[in-house]
């Protein structure tokens, strides 16, 4: 069986990317990791694993459309069947999302549809929620609104702060993102 070719997009530390690399799923081939930030520490994980890396710095483009066009060209060079956002901190244009419809995944640190967008841990704590978590979902034009594939829940503890809660959620992210990708590679997911 041919391996599923995948491209990962990152902006930062790349801990979810590392979890996916470490999972060593025999059904996938990570063909490239692309970052919009030149100093993204996650690029090092890819390089250490012998995966091609590329930087497309969003700050060097005049518009979101120009950046998205350059990013799409770079991704398509690797001919992926799946593109994953692994801590990629850019909102993508509708045309970009349509181009990858059904094969673009994201992980978000909340139990969607609750707490879309940024600062989820802080917002959960301010809302006195008893439970928090993370969701892997298909990307659609509306932010953090695509069909959810898998979620993991964690309790919100009485002495939690943003850091302790984020750390517990991140552990679950590292567990469920490789699982969702594996299901996609098996052909078990459809939008």
Residues annotated catalytic, as ranges: 108
Three-state SS for the chain is: CCCEEEEEEECCCCHHHHHHHHHCCCCEEEEEEEECCCCCCHHHHHHHCCCEEEECCHHHCCCHHHHHHHHHHHHHHCCCCEEEECCCCCCCCHHHHHHCCCCEEEEECCCCCCCCCCCHHHHHHHCCCCEEEEEEEECCCCCCCCCEEEEEEEECCCCCCHHHHHHHHHHHHHHHHHHHHHHHHCCCCCC
């Amino acid at each position: 069986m041919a391996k599923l070719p995948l491209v990962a997009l990152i902006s930062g530390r790349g801990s979810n990317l590392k979890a996916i690399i470490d999972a060593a799923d025999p059904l996938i081939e990570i063909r490239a990791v692309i970052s919009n930030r030149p100093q993204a520490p996650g690029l090092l994980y890819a390089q250490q694993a012998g995966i091609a890396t590329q930087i497309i710095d969003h700050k060097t483009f005049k518009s979101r459309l120009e950046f998205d066009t350059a990013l799409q060209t770079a991704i398509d060079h690797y001919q992926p069947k799946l593109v994953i956002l692994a801590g990629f901190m850019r909102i993508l244009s509708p045309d970009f999302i349509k181009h990858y419809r059904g094969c673009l995944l994201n992980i978000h640190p909340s139990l969607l549809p609750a707490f879309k967008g940024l600062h989820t841990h802080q917002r959960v704590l301010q809302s006195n929620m008893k439970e928090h978590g993370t969701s892997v979902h298909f990307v659609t034009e509306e932010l953090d609104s695509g069909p959810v594939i898998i979620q993991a829940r964690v309790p919100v503890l009485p002495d939690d702060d943003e850091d302790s809660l984020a750390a517990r959620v991140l552990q679950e992210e590292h567990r469920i993102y490789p699982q969702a990708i594996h299901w996609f590679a098996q052909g078990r997911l459809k939008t």
